[in-house]
C-alpha cells in the first residue's frame, strides 16, 4: 500500500514538472529587439529569425506605435475582451493606433471555460470591428483555476459555442492560442483542430510538438521581450508557414 502511494505521488510530481516546463525554460531570459541584423540570438546554440510580431494588452500601458512600427514589427495581436463582462481598457487605442501605422492587427478574447461560450463570443464581436486586412479572430485558451472545477462536457461545449458563434458572424474559424501541455491534457483528445490555425505558446528554443494539433502557424516564444516604444516586457511572436492573406479577412 505504501509503495502504491509513493508511486502515485511521484507520478503527479513528474506530471507537474512537465506541464510547467514551457513556462520555466528560459522564462527569465530577456530578449531585446535588434534592428541591426536579420537574426536575434536566442540562446548560445541557436539563432532564430528576427521577431515579426508582438501581442499586447493594457498591461503594456501607453504604447508608442510609431516607434514600434519603425522596428519592423509586422503584426500585433491585441486583447479585446475576457469572459462576458471584461473589455480591455486599452483595446480601442491599440486597435486604431496599430492600424494608423500600418501594422497588421488582430484581436483576441481570453476564454473562460466555465462561462457560456456564445455569450463570450457576442461580447468579443461587439468590442471588435474587423476590417479587410485584419488578422482573423483569436480565442486564448489557457489554464485558469476554474477549469479544474468545471465538467469536461461544459468547457468543451462552451468552446464549441464560442467557435460556432464567431464563425457564424465572421465566416472565419478563430485561431486557437494555447500551450501544448495544457491543450493535450484538457482539450486535445476531445476537440478536433484539423480546420483550425494554431498559435502556440512555448518559451523554449523551438516549438513543442502536440499529439493533437498540427504545427503552429504563430509561435509566442517569449513573455519577456524588450522593444523600444513599450515600457516593460512584451510577448514576442513569430509567424511562419503561410502568407498573411491566408490568416486575414
SS3 235: strand
Contact 224, 30 (CB under 8 A): yes
pTM of the model: 0.83
pLDDT per residue as tens digits for the range 111-151 = 999 999 999 999 999 999 999 999 999 999 999 999 999 99
Q: CA 170, CA 9: separation in Å to the nearest integer?
A: 47
**Around Cβ 123, how many Cβ atoms within 10 Å?**
19
pLDDT band at 102 (very low <50, low <70, confident <90, very high): very high
SS3 99: helix
Q: CA 93, CA 178: separation in Å to the nearest integer?
A: 26
- What is the separation of C-alpha 16 from the centre of its chain, rounded to a whole number of angstroms? 21
Active centre residues (catalytic): 55, 142
Give the least confident one: 50-64, 97-111, 144-158: 50-64
What are the boundaries of each domain within the chain?
2-246
**Cell numbers given for 214:** 498540427
Q: CA 69, CA 237: separation in Å to the nearest integer?
A: 15
Alpha helices, H only, the chain: 2-24, 65-69, 91-100, 117-127, 152-170, 180-186
Q: CA 202, CA 205: separation in Å to the nearest integer?
A: 9
Domain 2-246: what homologous superfamily? Glycosidases (3.20.20.80)
pLDDT per residue as tens digits for the range 1-35 = 545 444 544 444 444 444 443 433 344 556 665 54
Amino acid at each position: 500500500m505504501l509503495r502504491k502511494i509513493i508511486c502515485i505521488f511521484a507520478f503527479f510530481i513528474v506530471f507537474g514538472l512537465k506541464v510547467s516546463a514551457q513556462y520555466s525554460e528560459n522564462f527569465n531570459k530577456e530578449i531585446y529587439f535588434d534592428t541591426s541584423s536579420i537574426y536575434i540570438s536566442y540562446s548560445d546554440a541557436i539563432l532564430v529569425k528576427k521577431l515579426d510580431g508582438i501581442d499586447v494588452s493594457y498591461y503594456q500601458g501607453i504604447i508608442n506605435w510609431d516607434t514600434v512600427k519603425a522596428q519592423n514589427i509586422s503584426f500585433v495581436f491585441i486583447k479585446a475582451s475576457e469572459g462576458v463582462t471584461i473589455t480591455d481598457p486599452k483595446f480601442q487605442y491599440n486597435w486604431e493606433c496599430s492600424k494608423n501605422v500600418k501594422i497588421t492587427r488582430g484581436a483576441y478574447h481570453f476564454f473562460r471555460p466555465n462561462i457560456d461560450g456564445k455569450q463570450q463570443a457576442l461580447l468579443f464581436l461587439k468590442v471588435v470591428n474587423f476590417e479587410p486586412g485584419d488578422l482573423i479572430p483569436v480565442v486564448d485558451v489557457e489554464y485558469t483555476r476554474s477549469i479544474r472545477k468545471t465538467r469536461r462536457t461544459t468547457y468543451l461545449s462552451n468552446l464549441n459555442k464560442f467557435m460556432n458563434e464567431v464563425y457564424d458572424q465572421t465566416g472565419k474559424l478563430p485561431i486557437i492560442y494555447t500551450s501544448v501541455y495544457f491543450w493535450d491534457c484538457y482539450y486535445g483528445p476531445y476537440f478536433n483542430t484539423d480546420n483550425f490555425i494554431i498559435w502556440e505558446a512555448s518559451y523554449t528554443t523551438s516549438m513543442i510538438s502536440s499529439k493533437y494539433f498540427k504545427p503552429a502557424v504563430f509561435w509566442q516564444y517569449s513573455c519577456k521581450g524588450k522593444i523600444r516604444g513599450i515600457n516593460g516586457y512584451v510577448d514576442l511572436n513569430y509567424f511562419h508557414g503561410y502568407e498573411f492573406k491566408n490568416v486575414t479577412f
